[in-house]
Amino acid sequence: MSHTVQIARPAIILLVEDDHDLRREMAGYLEAQGYEVRQAATAAQARDLLERQSVDVAVLDVNLPGEDGLSLCRRLAVEGGPAILMLSALGDPVDRILGLEIGADDYVVKPIPPRELLARVKALMRRRSAGAQGNNRSAYAFAGFRLDLAARQLTAPNGMLLLLTRGELSILATLLENARSVVTREALLGVVKGEEPEVVGRGVDLHISRLRRKIEAQTDHEIIKTHRGVGYVLDAMVVRQ
């Protein structure tokens, strides 16, 4: 009697960095840790690679020649797409918030030590695995709305589809999981940014503000409430479907 043995494939990392020496150094370190690495110097090269093969994590430099890393991030930040780590030589908090708002999972300032790069890639892989398991929860119904986690769609009581960004989806799902309980801003920041130690508090507030606008445009009820100085609470009965 024969048995089929399945061997887990190594995770595939896409490095998009126009600095050849830096890209080669990062790729070499990740490959030494057992990852498969695909390299690109421009967004156009990255898109060509992605047409032939999917990847698990995309590490994108913001300041690329031609199409920049933020534009490429927007293209990749779709349901089922890779986890995204943005790299930038600029430390402006506004740039960091923008990167997270358009779909990046993590954002760090260069130069990044190889061991830290590895730690962040591992953290993104863990988050992606946990998210895939969480998507088995299917959907939530609340106050006439229905959130479909797999489709990343929020359906309003009148049937209108409200598309959510990755950050909005993560925050709303967390609030729904803890309905009528206060979720701290720090906890929500962790949902959006994973194991990122630095705090960019405005990122959570922006996600909440956009979520409220989408939800409150479809209902007269205040569903997401602020507990000043603590966090937020979703005030509605929730049914998991």
Q: Where residue 3 falls among pLDDT bands split at 50, 70, 90?
A: very low
* Domain range 138-240, CATH class: mainly alpha
pLDDT confidence of residue 24: 94
Please state the pTM of the whole predicted model: 0.56
pLDDT tens per residue, range 36-48: 999 999 999 999 9
Q: What percent of the chain has pLDDT over 90?
A: 26
State residue 33 phi and psi, 5-degree precision.
-95, 5
pLDDT confidence of residue 135: 46
Interval 61-79 mean pLDDT: 84
Start-end of H helices in the chain: 20-32, 43-52, 69-76, 93-101, 114-134, 166-177, 185-193, 202-216
Tokens representing 13 are 């990392």
Q: Select from 3.40.50.1100, 3.40.50.1240, 3.40.190.10, 3.40.50.2300 the CATH code of 12-133.
A: 3.40.50.2300
The structural domains of the chain, with segments of one domain joined by +, span 12-133, 138-240
pLDDT surpassing 90 at residue 188: no
pLDDT tens per residue, range 88-97: 887 666 667 7
87: left (phi over 0), alpha (psi -120 to 50) or beta: beta
Q: ∠96-99-101 over CA atoms, to 5°?
A: 110
Distance between CA 161 and CA 114 in Å, rounded?
A: 42
Instruction: Please report how many Cα atoms fall inside a 13 Å half-sphere around the Cα of residue 178, on the Cβ side.
Output: 15
Element (H, E) at 84: strand 83-88
Q: 96 with 107: CB under 8 angstroms? A: yes
Three-state DSSP at 57 gives strand
Q: Where residue 76 falls among pLDDT bands split at 50, 70, 90?
A: confident
**Higher confidence at residue 23 or residue 199?**
23
Tokens representing 192 are 């959006």
Tokens representing 118 are 């590895």
> Taking the CB of residue 14, how many other CB atoms lie within 10 A of it?
23
Distance between CA 135 and CA 150 in Å, rounded?
A: 6
CA 85 vs CA 14, 81, 203, 230: distances in Å: 10, 13, 16, 29
Listed residue (65, 67, 63, 73) closest to 14, CA to CA: 73
